Amino acid sequence: MKLLAPLMLAAVLAAPAFAAEDAKAPAKPDLAKGEAKYTAVCAACHGADGNSGIPANPKLAQQHPQYLAKQLQEFKSGKRNSAVMKGFASVLSDEDMTNIGGWLAAQKAKPGFAKDKDLVALGERIYRGGIPDRQIAACAGCHSPNGAGIPAQYPRLSGQHADYTGAQLLSFRDGVRKNSVQMTQVAAKMNDREIKAVSDYIAGLR
């Protein structure tokens, strides 16, 4: 009995450490549930596989799952303002958001293309080098040279609809979208032509 006591005490003391580790582990998405919920709630606007065919609605395929879950949570809370998206996000639980994000991340994004050949060179200069004399940072610094983004922090932009990207930059600039201080600061210094140019360039990134 004397030998068992120290072992039992050690087990009791170790238990909270294991519990803490389990609590920190991120929930693993259930892709089957994610697909089912996405199909029921999201597919009509964003495409069956996350490749929206509507220029005003973003492509979500291959997007970073943590970023997607964060945006859904912020639509639900109202931190990111959209009456349409708030309605859809409000019916989703945190688990639903994790599952949807995981499923979308596993879908292959279809490439886009730039349309305005007169502006694409300007867009490339801004994306890759920023506008130094106005302290506008290069988009590539956060979203990577090919638009792949940085998981959990900065979204994938490659191939995104120019209409959608442009609308978001305008929303940041005009104070309508308020859920990214960095993007508000960048967009605040850009004019309409620069926003259109960089949005078109992003659409053609591979």
| Cβ atoms < 10 Å from Cβ of 35 | 20
Instruction: Specify whether the CB–CB gap between 200 and 120 falls below 8 A.
Output: yes
Which of 82, 105, 128 is a domain's end point?
Answer: 105
Please write the tens of the pLDDT for every residue from 79-101.
999 999 999 999 999 999 999 99
Same domain for 161 and 128? yes
| 192 within domain boundaries | yes
| 2 within domain boundaries | no
| Whole-prediction pTM | 0.85
Same domain for 77 and 127? no
Same domain for 153 and 189? yes
Same domain for 188 and 151? yes
Closest CA to 79 of 94, 89, 91: 89
Q: How far apart are CA 193 and CA 199, in angstroms?
A: 10
For position 118, what pLDDT does the model report? 87
Please write the tens of the pLDDT for every residue from 23-40.
455 679 999 999 999 999
Same domain for 136 and 193? yes
| 181 within domain boundaries | yes
| 132 within domain boundaries | yes
Burial of 131 (0-12, 13-18, 19+ CB in 10 A): middle
Which stretches of the chain drop beneath a pLDDT of 70? 1-26
Which of 70, 105, 140 is a domain's end point?
Answer: 105
In order, the DSSP letters of 18-67 are HHHHHHHSPPPP-HHHHHHHHHHHTHHHH-TTS--SSTTS---TT--HHH
CATH number at residue 52: 1.10.760.10
| 85 within domain boundaries | yes
- Structural domain that includes position 159: 120-203
The tally of domains found in the chain comes to 2
